[in-house]
Structure 1
Amino acid sequence: MSQPFYVAPEQMMKDRADYARKGIARGRALVALRYTEGLVIVAENGSDTLRKVSEIYDRIAFAGVGKYNEFDQLRVAGVRAADLKGFQYSRDDVDARSLANSYAQMLGNIFTHEMKPMEVEILVAEVGLVEAGDQMFHLLYDGTVVDARDYAAIGGDAEAVRERLAETWTAGLDRSAAVRVGLNALSGPDRDIAAAELEVAELSRGNGRRCFSRIDATTLADILA
């Protein structure tokens, strides 16, 4: 009887992490940042039909980078979990923190026990009734959760994008200024990203019960003009 091939657990985890990071690095980045009336999410996305940014619940948005079919599975799971909790208890009991914890457990289990990890990074964002209640949670492929206060960047070249955000984001931005700051952080000094290559959405405290809305092409063109 032949002996099974042995791989040290540390090496196995390293190989899985490298595999996931390479897949994520091929994807285009996205940023989320606070402005005076809520949160805005700016994603580099040339597709008119495949969305990287979506609504999860009344005040909560989801954004993902990496393999589309994998982060869309997570989006659907989040919608179902939020709907179920809101139905069983109260709509006010559905929050980004509990969703982020659920996603962290799911991603951690897949990373540890499955042969192939998910090649995704996701962002769960919630706009509060007041500015102090805004929340953003960045989740990595292995279930690690990083909470962000003012801005977040995920996807390919995220470190460089985050550094540019740190240099340009300031408190008190209006929506138009926040979109331009996000675009400049994504594009950097070496290239330009056309409005047609962007997907932009917001969570606004002024939108009523359902705070999520997409910024259409006409409005985006006016903002960037």
Structure 2
Amino acid sequence: MSMPFYVSPEQLMKDRADFARKGIARGRSLVAVQYADGVLFVTENPSRALHKVSEIYDRIAFAAVGRYNEFENLRIAGVRLADMRGYSYDRRDVTGRGLANAYAQTLGTIFSSGGEKPYEVEILVAEVGSNSDEDQIYRLTYEGRVADEHGYAAMGGDAETVATYLGEHYTDGSSLDAALAVAVAALGHATEGGETTDRVIPVGDLEVAVLDRTRSQPRKFARIMPARLDALLGDRGPTEHAPAEHDRIEADTPSLDAPSPDAPQDSGEPPVAPPP
């Protein structure tokens, strides 16, 4: 009779965490920065159709790095939860904290389950308030941990280097163009082989969106298109695309039959939906 294979719980959790971290690190970084009128999201994403930053509800946005199909399932579940809560109670009852807690429970359940692999994703849930003191940014990791970020947040890729750059150059209450310049510069700041390099990312490779509290519409989410990005960033010198080895990142590249990011209704039920 053969002996059953045994792995200690500590080793199992460590292996699952290492697996998720490596998958997330293969993607490109994403940053969220608070500015005077709201919250800014910037990431390097050449695709104009497959978004990493999207709207969840009136004043709430969702941003993610990692496997597209996994974080898209989470986004769709969040949209459904927000719509149901807003319809059943009141639109003011839909909050970023409530969605972050629901996502934390879902990610924690998936990570601790031995029947499936952990999600290779990290996500941000941000809510814009009536003033900067009421803005909220929640960062959620693959194992369901929640961090309440202030000022800025970075995740995916070389997040540590990007966060260090933001910490050195971020200014509280800055204008949109100043915050955008710092965020884009941080994404182009990288450390390879012990050497620090700065790359000017082309406007066409950027995905930029804001939660703007000054918008007159109830929905505060808006995307910033390349034409406006050119005007906001100005002349930055010669641009440089991402290195060739990052042109196809498994963590960022969906299959051809992946669901449309702007159509929650056209996808099936997520593997684990956030609880009500």
With normalisation by structure 2, the TM-score equals 0.80
What residue in structure 2 maps to residue 153 of structure 1?
154
Moved over 2 A (4+): 1-4
What residue in structure 2 maps to residue 200 of structure 1?
208
What residue in structure 1 maps to residue 135 of structure 2?
134
What residue in structure 2 maps to residue 177 of structure 1?
178
Residue 49 of structure 1 and its aligned partner are, at CA, apart by 1.2
* Secondary structure, aligned partner of 2:47: coil
Is residue 215 from structure 1 mapped to residue 231 from structure 2 by the alignment? no
Q: How does 1:76-87 map to 2 (within 5 A)?
A: 76-87=76-87
* Secondary structure, aligned partner of 1:128: coil
Q: Number of matched residues?
A: 225
Question: 1:173-219, CA deviations, whole angstroms, 9 ceiling, x for partnerless residues?
Answer: 11111111100111014322111110000000111310000001100
Letter of the aligned partner of 1:73 in structure 2?
N
Q: How does 1:9-158 map to 2 (within 5 A)?
A: 9-113=9-113, 114-158=115-159
* Secondary structure, aligned partner of 1:152: strand
Residue 59 of structure 1 and its aligned partner are, at CA, apart by 0.2
What residue in structure 2 maps to residue 191 of structure 1?
199
Gaps of 5+ in 1: none
* Secondary structure, aligned partner of 2:42: strand
* Secondary structure, aligned partner of 1:206: coil
Letter of the aligned partner of 1:150 in structure 2?
G
Residue 115 of structure 1 and its aligned partner are, at CA, apart by 2.8
* Secondary structure, aligned partner of 2:117: coil
Moved more, 197-206 or 108-117: 108-117
Counterpart Cα distance in 1 of 2:116 and 2:10? 15
With normalisation by structure 1, the TM-score equals 0.98
* Secondary structure, aligned partner of 1:107: helix
Counterpart Cα distance in 1 of 2:64 and 2:26? 13
Residue 224 of structure 1 and its aligned partner are, at CA, apart by 1.1
Counterpart Cα distance in 2 of 1:156 and 1:144? 19
Counterpart Cα distance in 1 of 2:67 and 2:40? 23
Counterpart Cα distance in 1 of 2:4 and 2:181? 55
Gaps of 5+ in 2: 190-196, 235-276
Counterpart Cα distance in 2 of 1:7 and 1:161? 36
More helix by share: 1
